[in-house]
Amino acid sequence: MAAEIETQHLNAYFGDVHAVKGVDLRISSNRITAIIGPSGCGKSTLIRCMNRMHEVVRGARVDGKVLVGGEDIYGPGTDPVTIRRKVGMVFQKPNPFPTMSIYDNVAAGLRLNGVRDWKRLDDTVERSLRLAALWDEVKENLAASGVSISGGQQQRLCIARALAVEPEILLLDEPCSALDPIATAKIEDLLFDLKSRYTIVIVTHNMQQAARIADNTAFMYMGKLIESGDTKTIFENPEKELTEKYITGRFG
Amino acid sequence: MTSYNARKLKSQAAALLALGCVLVALIPLASILYEVVSRGLPAVDWAFLTERTKSSGQPGSGIGNAILGTVLLVGWGSLIGLPMGILTGIYISEYGNNWFGRTVRFFNDILGNFPSIVIGLLAYSLVVTVVGFSMISGAVALGIIMVPLVASTTEEALRMVPNSLREASLALGVPRWKTVLKIMLSNARSGLVTGALLAVARIAGETAPLILTAFGNSFWETGLFEPVSALPLVIFRNAMSPYADLQQQAWGAAFVLIMMVLALNIVVRLLTRLRFKSMSKKKVVSKIWLQRLRPST
Amino acid sequence: MSPRKAYENELAELDRQVTEMARKTQQAIELAVRSFERLDQDMAAQVRKLDEELYYLNIDIEKRCLEIIALQSPVAKDLRTIGTYIKVITDFDRIGRYARDIADVTGHTKDMAHFKPLVSIPHMAAMAEKMVDTSVKAFLERDTEPTKEVFELEDMVDSLYDEIFREIITYMMEDSKKIGFGINYLLVARYLERIADHACNISERVIYMVTGQRVVKE
């Protein structure tokens, strides 16, 4: 069910700004891969290329290939909408739909794609909320507004919402930066459990988080991929000096 | 005097000056209200509101047909203006980031600043020359006036919806048009409603275009292709007449019109306030869920 | 300008302390061997004092290393360096202890004298000292080159140890009056062999600290 991602000579632009420069990166399936790097290094842009969200911004364009499960998602005739159902995304600030209930939020992806069967929706909502470790906390109160729960719960709601459309890959863009340490820990545990079913890519500016949960880590700097590999190796004995300097905090 | 006291004094003086200006600005409003209420209220009684307009000297003259006419004109005008305005607003906001969109926005702003009598003239040349003075020509004029207003408020309301919601919907694999329709519009709902109601309140009072299009009618008339009466027209014509009773009717009509506009504005405010209150509890969804929830607890 | 000033200062302070410990260890060995050669009780007392200082340094440095790990989350080279500190201070402490043991042997020889001119033991001591000095040099300079010499010397020290053992046993078998003092030679040789072994440990840790590779015996 989970797929591999491979980028080949991937370049991404915002107008004239060259944000991602010739990145060749392989993401293993059923693993957590963390992408780290200083602000502005292009890590968020990189993952947004993996579900064709980058092109939503005006003036943005992509050059190169991104293979998901072996197929180029930028190939001629590919539909971004289909890609985005295969490759889900959770954003930095929790963004549940405020005019919808918790139930509606989780069901939104299916409902908006024409699913009307209540049984299927009910089952999907329960399954997704269980996967997101949120079921027990909200099952009595599914009609409550999506924004009436705490920040950490909202983020798990967004994860449930993304999982409800049954993606193969889950991309998370700094999902814990707006959350307190306990909520963060809950989400980290959750991701650990999810990796047996999905391929997970997480962008984080918190190196300790990458060190804690990621199997593989990729380090980016100024749009380029500097080094990627096994997390233990990166944090114990990195190959490139730039990587070493970044992770020991020797440049801001 | 210490500098603290001097500053305090200056501060108070400035506040007083500002208050004074506010009071001065309120004077015309207060005087209008006073005049209209004092001269108009006495003219209003049940007969006044239900009888049709008659010429001077005839007993039992009222503005019933004018009220009906205003309601119908505003209704038909909204039917024309609201959908066009909202769709224009959606286009400018969502798809208008190219030269065409910018041009549309530009012309939209210009149209919004057109003198309404010119729009009346346009409706005259387009519709009245074909079907004569009529409700439909009045509705067309009013609709055209509405479009830039509604388009602007729609665009504004959509712009206020956080981009994160749009992104969340797109990331779920929801096609763009559905995202706009379902997510953006539902979150911009209150802004859209406010904008629509304000536009309606505005056209309810438009006079100049109606002179050239609806023309006015002393009889009960609801046909689309017949001239129709309206409150602003009654006010206009009767205020200029030399007969005292007709002038009285003009004041009465003015009073009724102001009350209608006031009522609409109050409704808008209440709706806006209610929206914030109702954020906590939201819709229940699936009946199956309700059934399942009960046995499980 | 590195942004982690406080952290870098702490690392530098730690490095200074570990360096101090290395120097004191070298001193202790040197003094201990001299004290045995000359049967000098004052020197022996100095060695005992040095050993005590080394004991407290070991405790203090370990405490600081763990503090840095808890508070600063060191990674990569910093982590390997601190991990190395924790290990080598144990080696230094043990070396100091063996130096003291040698000094204690000296202490037990009051009013006694050597029964033979010392040749092998000073030779062995010189090699052990060289091994420690070279390891410390490799450590301070963060350079793995010198460690090759240390490993070569280890074999020589081991064979010297066997030699001394056989020689002294022979003496003791020939003349039972020599047993009393002969044991001292055996003990000193034993301690020197242990010191050399710890010097090798230090070299292995240096290789890990610099390259990240661990030296594993097949």
Asked if residue A252 belongs to a domain, the reply is: no
Report pLDDT for B194: 83
Tell me which residue of A60, A26, A5, A4 sits closest to A225, measured CA to CA. Answer: A26
Please state the domain count of chain B.
Answer: 1
- Whether A207 maps to a domain, the answer reads yes
Q: List Cβ neighbours of B173 (8 Å cut-off, separation of 6 or more).
A: A81, A82, A83, A84, A85, A86, A109, A113, A165
Burial of B231 (0-12, 13-18, 19+ CB in 10 A): buried
Q: What is the CATH number of the domain that holds C71?
A: 1.20.58.220
Measure CB to CB from residue C79 to each of A236, A249, A251 and give the nearest one.
Answer: A236
The pLDDT value recorded for residue A58 is: 84
> Is residue A169 less than 8 Å (CB to CB) from chain B?
no
Whether A226 is covered by a domain: the verdict is: yes
Report if residue B278 sits inside a domain.
Answer: yes
Give chain C's domain count.
1
Q: How many domains does chain A have?
A: 1
CB-nearest to C78 from A243, A248, A252 is A248
Token readout for A52 is 């064709």
In the structure, what pLDDT confidence band is assigned to residue A219 with cuts at 50, 70 and 90?
Answer: very high
Q: Which two tokens stand for residue A24?
A: 């060749």
What is the reported pLDDT for C215?
Answer: 80
Distance, in angstroms, between C127 CA and closest chain A CA? 34
Q: What is the pLDDT of residue B286?
A: 46
Count of Cβ atoms closer than 10 Å to residue A113 Cβ = 15
Judged against a pLDDT cut of 90, whether residue B23 lies above it is answered with yes
Tell me which residue range forms the domain holding A215: 5-247
Contacts of B177 in chain A (CB under 8 A): none
Q: CA–CA separation, A48 vs A199, rounded Å?
A: 15
* Residues in chain A within 8 Å Cβ distance of C74: 248
Rounded to an integer, the average pLDDT of B16-34 is 93
Q: Which of B186, B202, B197 is nearest to B272 (CA)?
A: B197
Is B171 near chain A, with CB under 8 Å?
yes
Please give the distance of CA C203 from its chain centroid, rounded to a whole number. Answer: 11
Mean pLDDT of B155-179: 89
Q: Is B178 exposed, middle or buried (0-12, 13-18, 19+ CB in 10 A)?
A: middle
Residue B88 lies in domain: 58-288
The pLDDT of residue A67 is above 90? yes
Q: What DSSP string describes chain B?
A: --HHHHHHHHHHHHHHHHHHHHHHHHHHHHHHHHHHHHHHGGG-SHHHHHSPP--TT-SS--SHHHHHHHHHHHHHHHHHHHHHHHHHHHIIIII--SHHHHHHHHHHHHHHTS-HHHHHHHHIIIIIHHH-S-HHHHHHHHHHHHHHHHHHHHHHHHHHS-HHHHHHHHHTT--HHHIIIIIIHHHTHHHHHHHHHHHHHHHHT--HHHHHTTB--SS----TTS-B--HHHHHHHHHHSS-HHHHHHHHHHHHHHHHHHHHHHHHHHHHHHHHHHTTSB-----HHHHHHHHHH-
Please tell me the least confidently modeled range out of A30-34, B80-84, C209-213: C209-213
pLDDT for B249 equals: 85
pLDDT range class, residue B281, cuts 50, 70, 90: very low
Tell me what ipTM this predicted complex has.
0.91
User: Which structural domain range is residue C170 located in?
Assistant: 5-211
- What average pLDDT score do residues A153-165 get? 95
Question: How many residues does the structure list for chain A?
Answer: 252
Would B198 be classed as within a structural domain? yes
**Interchain CB distance below 8 Å, C2 and A247:** no
Contact status, residue B41 vs residue B255, Cβ threshold 8 Å:
yes
Q: Decide if B293 and A140 are in contact by the 8 Å CB cutoff.
A: yes
The answer to whether residue C218 scores a pLDDT higher than 80 is no
Task: Give the closest of C3, C7, C76 to A236, CB-based.
Answer: C76
B287, pLDDT greater than 70: no
CA distances B129 to B23, B174, B222, C205, Å, are 48, 48, 20, 101
pLDDT at residue B289, as a whole number: 47
* Dist. CA C136–CA C157, nearest whole Å: 18
Q: Could you tell me the pLDDT band of residue B1, with boundaries at 50, 70 and 90?
A: low
Burial class, B95, CB count within 10 angstroms (exposed 0-12 / middle 13-18 / buried 19+): middle
Q: Do chain C and chain B touch with ≥3 beta carbon pairs under 8 Å?
A: no
Please indicate, yes or no, whether the overall pTM of this predicted structure exceeds 0.90. Answer: no
Disruptive mutation site among B172, B174, B185, B193 for chain A (greatest number of A CBs within 10 Å)? B172
Cross-chain residue pair B183–A165, CB shorter than 8 Å: no
Partner C contacted by A36 (CB < 8 A): no
Q: Which CATH number fits the domain that encloses residue B256?
A: 1.10.3720.10
Strand-by-strand arrangement of the A17-27 sheet: A17-27, A5-14, A60-68, A71-72
DSSP E strands, chain A: 5-14, 17-27, 32-36, 60-68, 71-72, 87-90, 169-173, 199-203, 216-221, 224-230
CB contact under 8 A, A113 and B282: no
How do residues C11-24 score in pLDDT, each as one tens digit?
A: 999 999 999 999 99
CA A53 to chain centre: 12
* Residue B277: per-residue pLDDT: 53
For residues C38-50, give the mean pLDDT. 92
Q: What's the pLDDT band for A1 if we cut at 50, 70, 90?
A: low
Residue A198 pLDDT exceeds 70: yes
**Residue B63: predicted pLDDT:** 82
CB within 8 Å: A100 and B297: no
Q: Angle of helix B231-240 relative to helix B64-90, nearest 10 degrees?
A: 130
Q: Has residue B47 been placed in a domain?
A: no
C218 is a domain residue: no
Please report the pLDDT score of residue B176 as a whole number: 87
Q: What is the pLDDT of residues C106-141, one digit of tens each?
A: 988 887 888 877 888 999 999 999 999 999 999 999
Q: Is C76 on the interface with A (CB under 8 A)?
A: yes
- Measured at the alpha carbon of residue C158, what is the angle toward residues C157 and C159, in degrees to the nearest 5? 95
Write down the pLDDT at residue B276.
54
Query: What does the pLDDT average to over A13-32?
Result: 94
Residue A85 with chain B: CB contacts under 8 Å: 172-173
* Contact status, residue B213 vs residue B57, Cβ threshold 8 Å: no
Q: For residue B293, tell me if it sits in a domain.
A: no
Task: Kindly indicate the confidence band of residue C59, based on its pLDDT and cuts at 50, 70 and 90.
Answer: very high
**Nearest chain C CA: its distance from A244 CA (Å):** 7
Tell me which H or E stretch contains A137: helix A135-138
Residue A40 vs residues A211, A225, B292: alpha-carbon distances, Å: 21, 13, 49
Q: What is the CATH number of the domain that holds A200?
A: 3.40.50.300
Which string of b and e fits B102-133 if b means at least 16 CB within 10 Å?
eebbeebeeeeeeebbebbbbbbeebbeeeeb
Q: Which range has the worst mean pLDDT, A152-161, A172-181, B1-10?
A: B1-10
Q: What angle do CA B179, B184, B189 make, to 5 degrees?
A: 145
Least confident of A207-216, B42-51, B148-157, B250-259: B42-51
As a whole number, mean pLDDT of residues B179-199 equals: 83
